[in-house]
C-alpha cells in the first residue's frame, strides 16, 4: 500500500496522543500499584524499570517498525513483510491477548464508572471519613448485577466510540484529560505524603528487599511492563501503520514509554503511603486501588470533586486504551475475515459481555468459576500479560532481529536517512532487541 492510501495521523502530536492514550490506562493506575503491593514493593519496581528500558523500549520500536513498514494490522503486516512464510501466524497471539484482556478490562472499567457515580453522590466526602471502604468495595465487586451493569455501560461507551469512528474525537478529548489525570495524581501524591505514617509507605516503595524477588516476580514485572505499554499484541503495530514515514520512531517510542512509566510510578507514590497510613492490606490484589483511594479522598478538602474528576479522567484513559484493544480485534476481523466494521465491533461486544460477565461473577465468594483454585478474573489477568503478551513480544523481537534485514530496520529508524538519529542509538536498540530481549524473555518464560 502506498503511503497516501492509508490514512495517517495529522501531526506528530496526534501520534503521541494516540499512543500514550493506548498505553496509559487502568494498567498504570489500577494494575501497577496492586502488583507492587503483591510483589513486595521497591524490588519489584526496580526490576520493572530495568525491564522497561532494556526490554519494553526495544519491543516498542520493533512493533513500530513492523507496523509502519508492513502497513497493516498484526497478521497482515507480518504477511506483507514476510510473504509466503508462517510468520503471519504470530499475529494470532494478539487475538487471544485482546480477547483475554478485554474481558477483565471491561469489569475494571465498570468499577471506575461506579466510583465516579459514587463520588457524585458524595460517598467520598469528609463526612464519609469513618467508612470501611474495603468492605464497601468487596460488597460491590462481589455482587451480581451492579458490577455487571457498570461493566455493560463501559462496553457500550467503548463500542460506541469505535463504531462511530470518533476516535479522533476521543483523541481531542484525551489531549485534555490526560494532563488533568496527571495533575490530579500529583495532587494525590502530595496529599498522601502528609498522611500520618506515610513514611512506611515510602520505605516500601524505595527500600528494596531483594530477597522478595522470585522468578514469579520477574515474570509479573515483565508482563506488567508489556501490558502497561500495550505491547506484544499488535496495538502499536496498528498505530504504527498509520504513522508517516517522516516521523521519528525512536523519539516517539521513548516519549510513550517514558510517560507511561511516569504515570505508573506516580500512581504507586499516591497509593502506597495511604495503604500503610490507613492500614490497608497491600497484597490484597485487584481491589487495592479502589479500596485505598476513597480513604485519601475523604481525608482531603474538596474530596468529592477531586474524586469525581479523578474517576472521570481514569475512565477516559481506560476508554482510550480499550479502543486500541477493540481496534486490534476489529481490524483483524475486517482485514482477515472480511467482516464489516459494524459486525466486527458487534463480535467484540459479544465476547466482552459474555467473558466479562464470567470474570465479574468469578469474584463472588465460593464461585464455581475458578480454574485450579484461581478465579477466571485472576486467571485471565495473569495469563494474558505473563504468557500471551510475553510470547507475542518475543515473536516480535525475533522477527525484527532475525528475520528482517538490518538495513530495513535502519531504514525505518532513520526514516530512510531523512532524520538524524545518532548511529549508536539505533545500534543499541537493535542489539537489545536482537539479543538481550529474546534471551531475557526466554529465560523468564522457561524458569517460571
In the complex, the smallest distance separating the C-beta of residue 444 from ligand PHE, rounded to whole angstroms, is 19
Q: Determine the interface stretch with ligand PHE among 24-32, 132-140, 237-245, 425-433 (rule: CB under 6 A).
A: 24-32
Q: Which residue is nearest to ligand PHE (CB)?
A: 27
As a whole number of Å, the CA-based R_g of the chain is: 21
What cell was used for 59?
519491543
Binding to ligand PHE (CB under 6 A): which residues in 92-151?
101
In the complex, the smallest distance separating the C-beta of residue 390 from ligand PHE, rounded to whole angstroms, is 12
- The pair phi, psi for residue 374, each rounded to 5°, is -110, 140
Q: Determine the interface stretch with ligand PHE among 21-29, 46-54, 372-380, 392-400 (rule: CB under 6 A).
A: 21-29
In the complex, the smallest distance separating the C-beta of residue 343 from ligand PHE, rounded to whole angstroms, is 22
Q: Determine the interface stretch with ligand PHE among 56-64, 130-138, 222-230, 368-376 (rule: CB under 6 A).
A: 222-230
When asked if residue 233 is in the footprint of ligand PHE (CB under 6 A), the reply is yes
In the complex, the smallest distance separating the C-beta of residue 101 from ligand PHE, rounded to whole angstroms, is 6
The site for ligand PHE, by CB under 6 A, has a size of: 15
Residues 6+ apart with CB under 8 A from 368: none
When asked if residue 228 is in the footprint of ligand PHE (CB under 6 A), the reply is yes
In the complex, the smallest distance separating the C-beta of residue 342 from ligand PHE, rounded to whole angstroms, is 22
Please identify which residue in 16, 18, 19, 23 interacts with ligand PHE, judged by CB under 6 A: 23
Between CA 158 and CA 21 the distance in angstroms is 14
SS3 category, 249: helix
User: Cβ atoms within 10 A of the Cβ of 372, count?
Assistant: 5
For ligand PHE, give the closer residue by CB, 106 or 292. 106
Give strand pairing partners of 161: none
The answer to whether the CB of 284 falls within 8 A of the CB of 291 is yes
Binding to ligand PHE (CB under 6 A): which residues in 311-340?
321, 324-325
The answer to whether the CB of 392 falls within 8 A of the CB of 97 is yes
In the complex, the smallest distance separating the C-beta of residue 445 from ligand PHE, rounded to whole angstroms, is 19
For ligand PHE, give the closer residue by CB, 296 or 326. 326
Residues 6+ apart with CB under 8 A from 228: 23, 27, 28, 31, 32, 260, 264
When asked if residue 27 is in the footprint of ligand PHE (CB under 6 A), the reply is yes
| Alpha helices, DSSP H, located in 164-248 | 167-193, 198-206, 215-228, 235-241
The answer to whether the CB of 81 falls within 8 A of the CB of 66 is yes
What cell was used for 179?
494532563
The answer to whether the CB of 270 falls within 8 A of the CB of 307 is no
Q: Determine the interface stretch with ligand PHE among 22-30, 40-48, 146-154, 348-356 (rule: CB under 6 A).
A: 22-30
When asked if residue 28 is in the footprint of ligand PHE (CB under 6 A), the reply is yes
Between CA 276 and CA 193 the distance in angstroms is 11
Q: Determine the interface stretch with ligand PHE among 209-217, 225-233, 294-302, 419-427 (rule: CB under 6 A).
A: 225-233
In the complex, the smallest distance separating the C-beta of residue 385 from ligand PHE, rounded to whole angstroms, is 8
Give CA angle at 236 (232, 239), nearest 5°: 155
In the complex, the smallest distance separating the C-beta of residue 291 from ligand PHE, rounded to whole angstroms, is 19
Please identify which residue in 17, 22, 150, 299 interacts with ligand PHE, judged by CB under 6 A: 22
Between CA 375 and CA 381 the distance in angstroms is 10
Between CA 437 and CA 448 the distance in angstroms is 16
**Which residues of this chain interact with ligand PHE, rule CB under 6 A?**
22-23, 25-28, 101, 227-228, 230, 233, 235, 321, 324-325
Amino acid at each position: 500500500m502506498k503511503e497516501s492510501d492509508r490514512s495517517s495521523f495529522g501531526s506528530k502530536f496526534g501520534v503521541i496522543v494516540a499512543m500514550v492514550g493506548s498505553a496509559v490506562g487502568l494498567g498504570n493506575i489500577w494494575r501497577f500499584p496492586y502488583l507492587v503491593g503483591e510483589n513486595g514493593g521497591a524490588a519489584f519496581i526496580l526490576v520493572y524499570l530495568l525491564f522497561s528500558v532494556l526490554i519494553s523500549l526495544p519491543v516498542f520500536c520493533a512493533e513500530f517498525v513492523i507496523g509502519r513498514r508492513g502497513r497493516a494490522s498484526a497478521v497482515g503486516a507480518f504477511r506483507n513483510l514476510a510473504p509466503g512464510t508462517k510468520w503471519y501466524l504470530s499475529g494470532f497471539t494478539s487475538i487471544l491477548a485482546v480477547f483475554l484482556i478485554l474481558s477483565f478490562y471491561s469489569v475494571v472499567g465498570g468499577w471506575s464508572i461506579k466510583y465516579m457515580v459514587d463520588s457524585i453522590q458524595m460517598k467520598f466526602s469528609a463526612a464519609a471519613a469513618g467508612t470501611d471502604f474495603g468492605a464497601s468495595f468487596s460488597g460491590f465487586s462481589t455482587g451480581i448485577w451492579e458490577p455487571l451493569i457498570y461493566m455493560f455501560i463501559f462496553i457500550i461507551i467503548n463500542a460506541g466510540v469505535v463504531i462511530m469512528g470518533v476516535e479522533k474525537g476521543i483523541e481531542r478529548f484525551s489531549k485534555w484529560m490526560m494532563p488533568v489525570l496527571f495533575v490530579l495524581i500529583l495532587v494525590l501524591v502530595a496529599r498522601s505524603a502528609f498522611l500520618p505514617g506515610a513514611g512506611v509507605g515510602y520505605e516500601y516503595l524505595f527500600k528494596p528487599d531483594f530477597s522478595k524477588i522470585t522468578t514469579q516476580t520477574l515474570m509479573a514485572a515483565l508482563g506488567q511492563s508489556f501490558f502497561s505499554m500495550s505491547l506484544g499484541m499488535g496495538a502499536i503495530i496498528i498505530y504504527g501503520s498509520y504513522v508517516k514515514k517522516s516521523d521519528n520512531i525512536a523519539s516517539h517510542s521513548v516519549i510513550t514509554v517514558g510517560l507511561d512509566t511516569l504515570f505508573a510510578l506516580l500512581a504507586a507514590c499516591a497509593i502506597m503511603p495511604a495503604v500503610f497510613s490507613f492500614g490497608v492490606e497491600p497484597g490484597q490484589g485487584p481491589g487495592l486501588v479502589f479500596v485505598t483511594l476513597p480513604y485519601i479522598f475523604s481525608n482531603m478538602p474538596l474530596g468529592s470533586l477531586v474524586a469525581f474528576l479523578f474517576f472521570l479522567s481514569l475512565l477516559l484513559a481506560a476508554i482510550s486504551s480499550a479502543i486500541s484493544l477493540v481496534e486490534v480485534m476489529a481490524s483483524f476481523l475486517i482485514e482477515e475475515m472480511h467482516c464489516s466494521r459494524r459486525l466486527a465491533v458487534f463480535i467484540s461486544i459479544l465476547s466482552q459481555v459474555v467473558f466479562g460477565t464470567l470474570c465479574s461473577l468469578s469474584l463472588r465468594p465460593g464461585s464455581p468459576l475458578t480454574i485450579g483454585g484461581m478465579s477466571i478474573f485472576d486467571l485471565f489477568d495473569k495469563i494474558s500479560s505473563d504468557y500471551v503478551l510475553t510470547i507475542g513480544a518475543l515473536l516480535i523481537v525475533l522477527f525484527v532481529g532475525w528475520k528482517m534485514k538490518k538495513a530495513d530496520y535502519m531504514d525505518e529508524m532513520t526514516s530512510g536517512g531523512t532524520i538524524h538519529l545518532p548511529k549508536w542509538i539505533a545500534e543499541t536498540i537493535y542489539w537489545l532487541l536482537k539479543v538481550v530481549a529474546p534471551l531475557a524473555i526466554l529465560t523468564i518464560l522457561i524458569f517460571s
